[in-house]
Amino acid sequence: MKPRTPKRAMALLAALLISLPAVADVASDRAMREALEAARNRDWSRIDDAAIDDHVLAGYVEYHRLRSQLPHVAPSVVNSFLQRHADSPLSDWMRGVAQVSYGDAGRYDALLAVSDGVPRGTIRQCYYYTALLDRDPAAAAEGGLELWLTGRSQPSECDALFDGLLSRGAIDAQAIWQRMMLAWENGEDGLMNYLARKLPGSWSDAQQALDRLKGDYAAVTRIPVNLGHQGQASAALFTAAMHNFTRADTEAALEAWRKIGPHLPLSEAQRHVVEHDLAFYSMVREVSNNRGWVDDVLPRLAEGDLLELRVRRALAERNWNEVVHWVHQMPDDPRQDARWQYWLGRALEQLGDEQTARKAYAAAADDRSFFGFAAADKLGQPYALNMTQATFNDAYRREVANWPVVQRAEALQRIGEPGLARSEWYAAIERATEEEARALADYAQQRGWYATLVQTTIAADQWDALAWRFPNAYQDSFQRWGNANGVDPFLLMGIARRESAFNNEAVSPVGARGLMQLMPGTAAHVSGQLGIDTPSMNELFEPETNIRLGSHYISRMLDRYSGNRLAATAAYNAGPGRVDRWLRDAPQEFDLFVESIPFRETRDYVQAVLAYQVIFASLAQNGSTQGIAMLSPAERQGSYDISLLARN
């Protein structure tokens, strides 16, 4: 009898076999890589069609070839391509390219022939509605007006559409004025001047009022209420004036609004926008003279973001009665959130209503989040992970490995096109059934495609599939450098999960790179502390390098704040200088400190990282939270003030 191969080894072998190209495919992959490069450069003579004819990625070369023939190719040829590649992003890309090419050439019949409804993107929409000007004037006017009513300049490809609608009267003087007001709100003076030249003389009084207001917002109380042709300018003018006035001087703007608001010819929607702005900026800027008005208007506005600000102000003032009052004023959806149920429980506890407080804590503790876990700690109960996991047998996994999208994604990975591979994958997730999405997530996990796996769970709303949402990505490196720097590896994994979702090639808008999103300057500084060469930009994408530097940096933040992870993770996100300032005026308790962080991004970041650490630690125990605490006793009971600074 042959010795049995262990099941784990068999599973790994099966995963390896379904993912590796056959030896015979290596030459074909090489030919495809060369053909795709040639196609992008339109060097058709370098393409060996016979060598790639049966390759799973042949459509990519065909895409570039057909694209090069636009706009002269017949729409039937384009539609044939769209049909043959309907399960690939190539279809959407080709449709968009064809719409723009046909629009540029004025081939509007062809554009409509390859369209399947209103396209995405401003340029394509402008061409689409231009094509409908003579074929469906009502649809062209409706869509064109939506594109017109923006406070920014639109692409030149929209000129023909706008000119056509202006000449037909579908864009009238009122629409011109409305766009002027939107441009005023956005500070687009050039666009305002361009639009002003299109207004008829009957709108001169509105233009004069606008000129006066641009020099003095307070004049809003002294200009006529009825402006423009039949008063058509008034509503948009006053709405825009209040928009700008509120941002310039919120206290004076409210004083003016209380004088003129009841008399202005505004719609309920416009009035709501003005009052929402006034309430929002009054609270954000802490305008004390506006408080009474804000509290009066909040129940009528009933907006979650405004009531959140009001509760946070009550928390900052430790006014527990107000916390209870304003949480109860919230709409159902935000009020049921673990965060606000926690604070309701906290306030009721402070007011001596222990029984009702426990009910609120219990509602919060059902949630898998920072405040859900904090509520569980209050009740002394285990954390609720609420996790699920689908399982698949090997036969089904082999079937999934042969799905066309999987074959294309694998081939694109092999020829060095990871970006295209991700595009194939995410396009498939958008079309997938719930079962198919789970199968694709399982495949990504088997292949170790960590960033793709996380994004798959997000796109497919697989919120409870924790083993997929929080994979053991680069665990050996996190373990090695966490231990070397005295940092819990699960904290490092929580940071990387929040920073990049385990995309080692991630680049932020400000230039932070890699798994732990290190700024080049930070990386250079840390390298100097370690006595190693400063890594190049590309080296920051290497997981080992990025984790080594990131773990050392967070260890320094932990040293700075006496081991306190709330302060250290806040500093990792917002910088230690800001955290030092926040601690000077911070509340004493941990929960109030987190809630008092002025930057929403950092406030959410700290909560996410600490909750993620719990999840990673629990997954390492097969989903058990026994013995795992989100906060240490010192973090939960200590004072959040400058005493946290180790140098003090």
Cα 532 from Cα 512, distance rounded (Å) = 20
User: If you count them, how many residues does the chain have?
Assistant: 648
Q: Is the dihedral of CA 515, 518, 519, 520 positive or negative?
A: negative
d(CA 338, CA 344): 10
Fill in the amino acid letter for 163: D
Q: How far apart are the C-alpha atoms of 304 and 184, rounded to whole Å?
A: 28
CA 573 from chain centre, in angstroms, equals 17
Q: Which of 308, 499, 595, 635 is catalytic?
A: 499
Comparing CA positions, the residue from 547, 551, 565 lying closest to residue 610 is 565
> 292 and 319 in contact (C-beta within 8 Å)?
no
Q: Where are the beta strands (DSSP E) in 87-187?
A: none
Residue 422 and residue 413: Cα distance in Å, rounded? 9
Q: Yes or no: say if 566 and 590 are a contact pair by the CB < 8 Å rule.
A: yes
Q: Name residues whose C-beta falls within 8 Å of residue 490's C-beta, 6 or more positions apart in sequence.
A: 613, 616, 617, 620
Cβ atoms of 594 and 567 within 8 Å: the answer is no
d(CA 240, CA 266): 12
The residues near 10 (Cβ < 8 Å, ≥ 6 apart) are none
For 528-595, the three-class secondary structure string (H helix, E strand, C coil) is: HHHCCCCCCCHHHHCHHHHHHHHHHHHHHHHHHCCCCHHHHHHHHHHCHHHHHHHHHCCCCCHHHHHH
Amino acid at 278: L
Distance CA 590, CA 594 (A): 6
Token digits of residue 438: 């789970």
Q: Is 354 a catalytic site residue?
A: no
Q: Find, among 126, 75, 137, the residue nearest to 100 by Cα.
A: 126
8 Å CB contact between 342 and 375: yes
- Assess contact for 359 and 347: CB atoms under 8 A: no
d(CA 411, CA 57): 7
Q: Are 474 and 547 in contact (CB under 8 A)?
A: yes
Q: What is the DSSP letter of 44?
A: G
d(Cα 456, Cα 221) in Å, to the nearest integer?
54
100 neighbors 123 (Cβ within 8 angstroms): yes
Cα 379 vs. chain centroid, distance in angstroms?
A: 34
State how far the alpha carbon of 392 is from the alpha carbons of 16, 436, 446, 450, in Å: 17, 11, 11, 19
Count of C-beta atoms within a 10 Å radius of residue 314: 20
DSSP string, 48-106: -HHHHTTSTTHHHHHHHHHHHHTTTS-HHHHHHHHHHTTTSHHHHHHHHHHHHHHHHTT
Tell me the three state secondary structure of residue 539: helix
Cite the active site residues.
Answer: 499
